[in-house]
Amino acid sequence: MLAITGGYVITMAGPPLLEGTVLVEGTKIVAVGRDVAPPPGAEVFDARGCVVMPGLVDAHCHVGIIEEVFRQEGDDANETTDPMTPHLRVIDGIDPNDLGFEDALAGGVTTLCITPGSANVIGGEMAVVKAAGATVEEKLVRFPAGLKAALGENPKRVHGREKRAPATRMANAALLRSALVQAAEYLRKRERGEGKEIPDRDLKLEAVARVLQGEVPLRVHAHRADDIVTALRIAREFGVRLVIEHATEGYKVADLLAREGVPVVLGPIITNRPKPEMRAVDIRAAKKLADAGVRFAVMTDHPVVPVQYLGLSAALTVRGGLDEERALASVTIEAARVLDLADRLGSLEPGKDADIVILDRPLFDIRATVDAVFINGRLAYRRQ
């Protein structure tokens, strides 16, 4: 048993606790409070003078599939030979020894949603992993965690220059819609067909069918407001769960997102205007989404923003007008909710995974340094 004692405990499930204790048994938190006493024989981690908080959750990054120092050899995010690759599984491309996982730990990031890139209209299936573990299987929290799709500039640029579809936004939408139609027909035949009418197994259509069956959300890369509305239109047509990724202009249609109950993974926050569809980037975007009632998490999009700067990314939303509590939630409990993992992650509560970060200062203090990280109750990082 492990007892983390004496720290300023931010639970994300209630008021902070001065000189609180977090008690861990095995991989789970079993008690949190000011009056929790370490049982005899417990290992004690003295957190006096430190901040104790849930491990950060990066809801959209490319750690392990874009290894920034290896260029082409380390880039496995986009299979650009085909604009429709729903059957690709990100777990087959993750390098568990990517330096990005070490960077994540140093930044207090314990959980990452790793996604294929956005060169294709459908890029493949995502995974949620922990930052510690020798293999993908040891790291894995959930697979599949969503089907990655993309609208806007990226697919039309990558494939249009090769003189194949999509070369327009219309083709982006048409290809996505066609895949959903084909998957619906595939499901119908598989479920009702007999004999020769039963189609052969199709890995592409199986992946899309998981979206139609509600097993995973459709997670759509969309920066411009019109692309966001196109994603909403298609999701409405097929009755599928939707998450908008990036949402640079999401604040322009925030009321619509709120009304339809569609969450957003916002970012990257630390950015310039690298392409036309990001010309309206606004540091106040998080505040505007929150004011409209949109649920959102903040991403790094690593390596676009290094994963260790997830906390800094959330801090910049405070500069844009968001209150600190909501900003902190965007990389903890709200990120867990967007990933459908709030029963395990994002707060310090009994029964949840013992993913705990100890810092020398509050996360949003520019001088804050991570002293220690526990993942599943085991020490995964200690500052030297």
- Domains located in the chain, CATH noted: 1-54+347-384 (2.30.40.10), 56-345 (3.20.20.140)
pLDDT for the residue 191: 86
Q: How many helices (H) and strands (E) does the chain have?
A: 11, 18
- Phi and psi at residue 364, to the nearest 5°: -85, 0
Percent of the chain surpassing pLDDT 90 = 95
Q: How far apart are CA 120 and CA 113, in angstroms?
A: 19
Q: How far apart are CA 343 and CA 199, in angstroms?
A: 37
pLDDT band at 198 (very low <50, low <70, confident <90, very high): confident
Output the six-digit token pair for 318.
């405070």
pTM: 0.97
pLDDT for the residue 94: 98
Strand, helix or coil at 203?
Answer: helix
Q: How far apart are CA 153 and CA 157, in angstroms?
A: 6
Beta strand pairing call for 2-9 and 43-46: parallel
Q: How far apart are CA 141 and CA 130, in angstroms?
A: 7
- Rg, the chain, Cα only: 21
Find out whether the peptide bond into 155 is cis, omega within 30 degrees of 0. no
Is the backbone of residue 276 left (phi > 0), alpha (psi -120 to 50) or beta? Answer: alpha
Percent of the chain surpassing pLDDT 70 = 98
Taking residues 199-222, report their average pLDDT.
97
Q: Is the pLDDT of residue 195 over 80?
A: no
Q: Is the pLDDT of residue 74 over 80?
A: no
Which residues fall within 8 angstroms of residue 34, CB to CB, at 6 or more apart? 17, 18, 19, 20, 21
DSSP conformational letter for 167: S
Taking residues 92-103, report their average pLDDT.
97
Chain-wide mean pLDDT for the chain?
A: 97
CA dihedral 107, 111, 114, 118 (to 10 degrees): -60
Output the six-digit token pair for 139.
């790291």
pLDDT for the residue 70: 67
Contact predicate 58/331, CB 8 Å: yes
pLDDT for the residue 13: 98
Contact predicate 8/16, CB 8 Å: yes
pLDDT band at 197 (very low <50, low <70, confident <90, very high): confident
Taking residues 325-342, report their average pLDDT.
99
Beta strand pairing call for 51-54 and 43-46: unpaired
pLDDT band at 178 (very low <50, low <70, confident <90, very high): very high
pLDDT for the residue 199: 86
